[in-house]
Amino acid sequence: MIRYLVRRIVHLAALLAAVSALSFSLVSLSPIDPVDAYIGADVMKVGPEQRAKIAARWGLDKPPLERFTTWAANLVRGDFGISAIYNEPVLTVIGKRFAMSLWLMALAWVFSGLFGFVLGVVAGAFEGGLFDRAVRFYAYLLAGTPTFWLGLLLLLIFSVALRLTPVCCAFPPGVTPEEATVWQRLWHLALPAATLSIVGVSAVILHTRQKMIQALRSDYALFARAQGEDTMGVVRHHALRNVVLPAVTLQFATLGELFGGSILAEQVFSYPGLGQATVEAGLRGDVPLLLGIVLVSAVFVFTGNTVADLLYRVIDPRIGWKGAA
Amino acid sequence: MDRQGRTWMRKAAWALCAAFVLAAVAAGADALAKDKPAELVLAVGGENVEGYDPLVGWGQYGHPLFQSTLLKRDANLNIVNDLAESAVLSPDGLVWTVTIRKDAKFSDGAPLSAEDVAFTFKKAAEAAGKTDVTALKEAVVTGPYSVELRLKEPQITFIGHLVTLGIVPKHAYGEGYGRNPIGSGPYKLASWTEGQQMVIEANPLYYGKKPDFTRVVFLFTGEDTSFAAAQAGKVHVVSVPSSLAKQQVPGMVLHPVKSVDNRGLMFPMVPDTGEKTPTGFPIGNNVTSDPAIRKAVNYAMDRKALVEGVLEGFGSPAYGVVDNLPWEETTARFTDNDPAKAKEILAAAGWKPGSDGILEKNGVKAEFTIVYNAKDSLRQNLALAVSGMLRKVGISAVPKGTSWDEIKKNLTHSNVVVYGFGDHNPLEMYKLYHSRGDLNIYNAGLYKNPVVDANLDKAMAAPSFEASIPFWKAAQWDGTTGFAVPGDAAWAWLVNLDHTYFIDENLDVGVSQMEPHGHGWPITANIAEWTWKK
């Protein structure tokens, strides 16, 4: 158990080092000039002298390798640097927004996991039936739907035409964050979380369904039937545990996708989460912020995978600690 | 997803929704509140993500709201006093002597003195942000309410800083000021949820006329979401792209605002002699370096058709870079949509039709590429329409979309480029047409005319802004030469956009200023004058 944890931590450190080096090289190769991106429409008002000053403030006058080593050295001391576009410490920028995104991702994740699993199990149990075909159609259709488009559609139907749900934001416009209640916040999460869940279920459905069909065709299912179990019984007592495993893996592995999907959903619903900041950081070449977000999301996804790994052992005691990676 | 695809899907989504909305409206969904609302909700953009600090660029467009400025522009773009009681430039154009009003206070109660003005200009000159005050030599306090701003060299456009630079308090300026701005403007910041909204409240200590709306909420929603919020009756003012301006929004009226936000074609002015940029890309163009070609392009184009076809009628033809501004030389205007005149000019210059109908001269075909930012569907549509119009006079203009970075770094010195400009300050005109400067975006076509340079320099060195205006005009066209179409025709300006807003039918936003490049926030320039009609 301890050896396992140590090994995971070493893995994490190596992963972070690799990810930051890779991201930094990619950003350095990007054709985006951060100073141009920052100045934007003011290009005629900012002369060469002022441009040089801006570049110097961000350290862009130094060669890339020196910038990276300075950044890494500061990082080791816990200093993530200053975001160029938000003009405040990277950790403050991420902290404000990550808390918001976490709510959204958690809701979407739980819903898509639960619904996906239930639909997949039922569809698999009644393979080829009307319900199965309907669920499969839904899953294929949704797998090809752009998140932002679905979000816009939901917004138009539920918020604009029916006026049921809020049009935007994490809480009602005009209310200050201190005044906003938990219920208001949850209510404002409804549509973005629904958008993410509706799109997110298809992978879980299809995998669970496939696994279910396999389980029902296995020898132990045949044996159980021979002993007089009906379909529901086989599903409940024999197949379910085997089907849970891939679903759990998948659900934790999709944390990365969830991260990506939340960026799009946040944009449509103007939800003030990390998504908008990530897009800005990328489009405007804010290297410290982008690297900060990359590191945080890497830790996030890594944690998800580790949790999945640990859950295996709880669900299936046959998997021991020995040889675990 | 590319812009084109998005546009299509967006249209599909809105179409799908139209039926729902109509049904809901017909069913008499909840009546919109007609009483004066407790708070005004605007979705016009304007989130300044690095904070509301004038020293690094806040307030360049519209009004800084939280701070006040020494001078301001009224609805007719005349420069009038605000915080300043007088602002006088010395005859040599080097020293601004400013006397400020004595009753101004910051929102924290501290009085605003000459110290704060000097501090603001000095700090802005040091700060590495979007406010370029590098022309300032020093700011000297000469009395409790008077200050001298001394410049390194005469620069009449420095007046732009007196108009846009919000004065910050010396005693309360520091790290984090942008997120907690204290100023002497009509409003103060109450709460800012980054990425979502900003709530502002009237500043009770403001020296000017108190605004009618004591609480205003700015929603920082994207274009589509803002429009959805308007459809749902949640906002009082929303800025919309012209493609959505033809839609109906219950309880709201369309409010188009004229602008100097223009789009035009930049011509490379020098022939291609094989010279390259330091990064190895070509300079010059053998077709557009011929003035006959540039003039023919200008005369052949039907700008009204561009306004109707590409801008859906929300715009006006552009004849120059400063249309309708006080320093426009109106005699340089011309009649376009005149293919006959274009052909005449080309024939007189020796261009003859080739076998494929495209003109030729000394073996050179009248052919060039119009490059545009591929992400911008408006520029794309302009390039395509222009290409069609030029074909009729025997010029082959090939539209090509690519990335903005590629254009700026590699293509801009040898190709015709669709650019957009437009500002309340003639500094822009100076940078576009003055020959000084290296290879850069300012004068990308390498235009050079000593007479124009001299006029621009005289304008810069003028003893007052009024005195500079005749020189700005002469640079365009002085009767014999200039950069405008009767002269060198260095650009072919195409259209000025109208900025389109939907506003609540009960809201009176007064007379909106003609807006610069930048859509949305500028409408707030006169927000202190807005009233509710009932």
Is B510 within 8 Å of B483 (Cβ atoms)? no
Question: What is the DSSP code (8-state) at residue B106?
Answer: -
Instruction: Report A:80-139 residues touching B (Cβ under 8 A).
Output: 85-88, 96-97
Is CATH 1.10.10.1100 correct for A97-315? Answer: no
List the domain boundaries for chain A.
2-76, 97-315
Phi, psi for residue B515 in degrees, rounded to 5: -90, 150
Distance of CA A202 to the CA centre of its chain: 15
Q: Which residues of A touch B194 (CB under 8 A)?
A: 86, 96-97, 272
The shortest C-alpha distance from A309 to chain B (Å) reads: 35
Tens of pLDDT along chain A (325 residues) come to 788 889 889 999 999 999 999 999 988 888 788 888 888 777 778 888 888 999 998 888 888 889 999 999 999 898 999 998 898 999 999 998 988 888 899 999 999 999 999 999 999 988 888 999 999 999 888 878 888 889 889 988 998 888 888 888 888 888 888 888 889 999 999 999 999 888 888 888 988 999 999 988 889 888 888 888 888 888 888 888 888 887 888 888 788 778 878 888 888 888 888 888 888 888 888 999 999 999 998 998 888 888 888 887 777 777 766 554 4
Does residue B350 surpass a pLDDT of 70? Answer: yes
Assign 3-class secondary structure to B264-285: EEECCCCCCCCCECCCCCECCC
CA distance B285 to B271: 5
Residue pair B475/B452 in contact by the 8 Å Cβ criterion: yes
CA distance B284 to B363: 18
In the three-class reduction of DSSP (H, G, I as helix; E, B as strand; rest coil), residue B237 is classed as strand
Q: Is residue B204 within 8 angstroms of chain A, CB to CB? A: no
> A245 vs chain B: nearest CA distance in angstroms?
35
Look at residues B351, B375, B382 and name the one whose alpha carbon lies nearest to residue B364.
B351
Task: Report H helices in B114-222.
Answer: 114-126, 159-164
| Nearest CA-CA partner of B320 in B377, B402, B274, B265 | B265
Contact B369/A at CB under 8 A: no
CA distance B110 to B183: 10
Cα(A215)–Cα(A222) distance, integer angstroms: 10
Contacts of A274 in chain B (CB under 8 A): none
Six-digit token pair at A196?
């993410």
Lowest mean pLDDT, pick from A78-92, B25-39, B323-337, B368-382 = B25-39
User: How near does any CA of chain B get to the CA of A88, in Å?
Assistant: 8
Nearest CB neighbour to B232, from listed A146, A160, A270: A160
What confidence score (pLDDT) does residue B17 get?
A: 55
**In this predicted structure, which of B13-27, B117-131, B367-381 has the lowest mean pLDDT?**
B13-27
Which pair of tokens denotes residue A153?
A: 């559609």
Quote the mean pLDDT of chain B.
90
Report ipTM (2 d.p.): 0.81
pLDDT band at B28 (very low <50, low <70, confident <90, very high): very low
The reported pLDDT for the residue numbered B407 is: 87
Say what the pTM is. 0.85
User: What is the predicted pLDDT for the residue at B26?
Assistant: 44
User: In chain B, which residues have their Cβ closer than 8 Å to the Cβ of A279?
Assistant: none
**Which residues of chain B make contact with A160, given a CB cutoff of 8 A?**
17, 20-21, 228, 231-232
* Interval B408-453: pLDDT, tens: 878 888 999 999 988 889 999 999 999 875 556 688 889 999 999 9
Residues of B in contact with A153 (CB under 8 A): 13, 16-17
Contact A268 B222 (CB under 8 A): yes
